[in-house]
Amino acid sequence: MRLWDPTTGRQVGKAYTAHPNEVHALTAVRLADGRTLLATIGNGRAKGLWDPNTGASVGSGISGRRAVAAIPLVDGRVLLATGGTDNTVRLWNAANGRSGGRPLTGHAAPVHAAAAVPLVDGRVLLATGSADHTVRLWAPTTGPSAISASETARARALQAVTAVPVPGRGTLLATVSHDERTVNLWEAHIGHRRADLPTNHTEAVLTLAAVPLADGRTLIATAGIDRTIRLWDTATGRSTGRPLRGHTGPVRAITTMQGNDGHARLVTVGDDRTMRLWHPETGRLLDQLPTGHGDTVYTVTAIRMPNGRTLLATAGADQTVRLWDASNGDLLHCLTGHTGAVHAVTAVPRPRRPTLLATAGHDGTTHLWNPYTGRPAGRPLIGHTLPVRGIAVVRLLDENTVLATAGDDRTARLWHPATGALLRTLPLGVKVTTLTAFDGTMLCVGSESGLLAIELGTPGAPSSGCISVCSGTPAVGVPDDRVWGP
């Protein structure tokens, strides 16, 4: 370890042996008592806090191999954050070298870089960079006896994500994790969890949707393995009635549409291969249709056509997509072309051009269809190397729209919906389970490690970045090694 005068370029004092092997990272640590120490990490076991004036070791116990950063807290204390080859970030009390709580998890590869990020409101966040191609921004907080992350550090794979307008709160994100029965509400722009909503399902929740009502309220509909659909008022967090029953197998997907009377309709599909239409305010079953699918129905979406007509698209394990007239339940088209299960479908509205239907699935491809004719609208979009799990339409700052896809190959890809051209590939570092658009320009990614909310500008512009809630903790990352305005 050597000290240098930056104005002269000369070494100050003698060199000190800090580690028996390589030193990989160091940082200055300004303590509340006015002292400045040095923290170092590297290969081999070593004492990691040093007095730069004497070279004497003043602390021990800090471990880490690749990265270290000092984070001053509002109460005057200082944390040290270290990263290493176990893919975790660890927090330490800089004054005594003691552990500051459980490791922060979420990175999928070794952590090679760490830095403190001061904000204008006085808080200081922690940015970490990893070989998984992501940068994450964590918000450390203090506890009564230990220093921990602002949310649980337990990694949770997300099952479903949807945007929910909440009176008086703007638009929140509703998420449900794999094998869980609680819905979490988030402020996506800052990564803050606002509320938890116990759903009273007896088994895991598989899907959820926002249900806008004519009176301005918004409900959340949840469904899952227990074969029921439940509705919740976002303003009160209370159930709006009894569970909707009728499905004879797990319910896999929910969508909403507007009925001829101007009121919302709830559409559900699942393992029993039926499609059911419900009145969300009364809980009444309005219609039940056998879909004709030969296996589990994974997904459903409503397509609002420019002429006011509404179509419904269902898809699933039998590799087909079926289009229905929502007004009478007539089957219009059976779309074939996928060579594996179809996991996701969405409508692709285009200004001054006909609305398209996009489908994506286990074969790693995305198809665009003309819902009027049931014919392909161009060649399949090819680029993903593994199954595609999610698909969403996102509006750019220039008011154009892009089609976003993501899945098991740990990337999100942005496509031009008219030409099918690949605009950009975003390495995410995690397998994706679901996608949704938020506030038009934000792409929300449910992953095996948590939630990523990517603010999209024009593809390639510096405004592209990523705010995430990975493993339950606020984080920021960018796929192109840049950090912009946390």
pTM above 0.85, yes or no: no
Phi, psi of 416, rounded to the nearest 5 degrees: -85, 115
Burial class (CB in 10 A: 0-12, 13-18, 19+), 116: middle
* Sheet (strand 182-187) strand order: 158-166, 170-177, 182-187, 192-198
Q: Return the CATH architecture of domain 158-388.
A: 7 Propeller (2.130)
Residue 305: the pLDDT is 84
The pLDDT assigned to 109 comes to: 85
Superfamily assignment of 3-134 in CATH?
A: YVTN repeat-like/Quinoprotein amine dehydrogenase (2.130.10.10)
- 3-134 with 158-388: one CATH topology? yes
Nearest residue to 267 via CA among 286, 250, 248: 286
Burial 425-453 (b: 16+ CB within 10 A, else e): ebebbbbbbbbbbbbebbbbbbbbbbbbb
Sign of CA dihedral 427, 432, 437, 442: negative
d(CA 55, CA 358): 63
State how beta strands 401-407 and 388-395 pair: antiparallel
Q: What is the DSSP string of 232-265?
A: EETTT--B-SSPB---SS-EEEEEEEE-TTS-EE
DSSP 342: E
- CB atoms under 10 Å from CB of 47, counted, come to 16
286 to each of 220, 248, 296, 328, 340, how far by Cα in Å?
A: 19, 17, 22, 11, 32
Name residue 402's amino acid: V
Determine the Cα–Cα distance for residues 346 and 368; give it in Å rounded to an integer. 10
Is 470:106 a contact under the CB 8 Å cutoff? yes
Q: Could you give the 3-state DSSP secondary structure of residue 120?
A: coil
User: What contacts 120, CB < 8 A, 6 or more positions away?
Assistant: none
* Residue 352, Ramachandran bin (φ over 0: left; ψ between -120 and 50: alpha; else beta): left
Profile the chain (486 residues) by mean pLDDT over runs of 10 residues: 84 75 76 79 63 73 67 75 84 76 81 76 76 73 33 56 78 80 76 77 92 89 95 85 95 93 93 96 93 96 88 97 94 97 94 90 98 95 97 80 94 92 88 86 82 65 36 36 32
Question: Is the Cβ–Cβ distance between 97 and 89 less than 8 Å?
Answer: no
For residues 422 and 381, the answer to whether their CB atoms sit within 8 Å is: yes
- And the tokens for 139? 């918000």
- Residue appearing with tokens 């638009």: 171
pLDDT at 189: 62
pLDDT value for 153: 30
CA distances from 422 to 296, 313, 402, 413, 419 (A): 31, 25, 10, 7, 9
Distance CA 176, CA 220 (A): 12
For the chain, the structural domain boundaries read 3-134, 158-388, 389-486
Residue 465: other Cβ atoms inside 10 A: 21
DSSP strand pairing (251-258 vs 388-395): unpaired
User: What's the distance, CA 43 to chain centroid?
Assistant: 34
* C-alpha 143: how far from chain center: 26
3-class secondary-structure state, position 392: strand
Sign of the alpha-carbon dihedral angle for 402, 405, 409, 410:
positive
Q: Cα–Cα distance between 206 and 188 in angstroms, integer?
A: 21
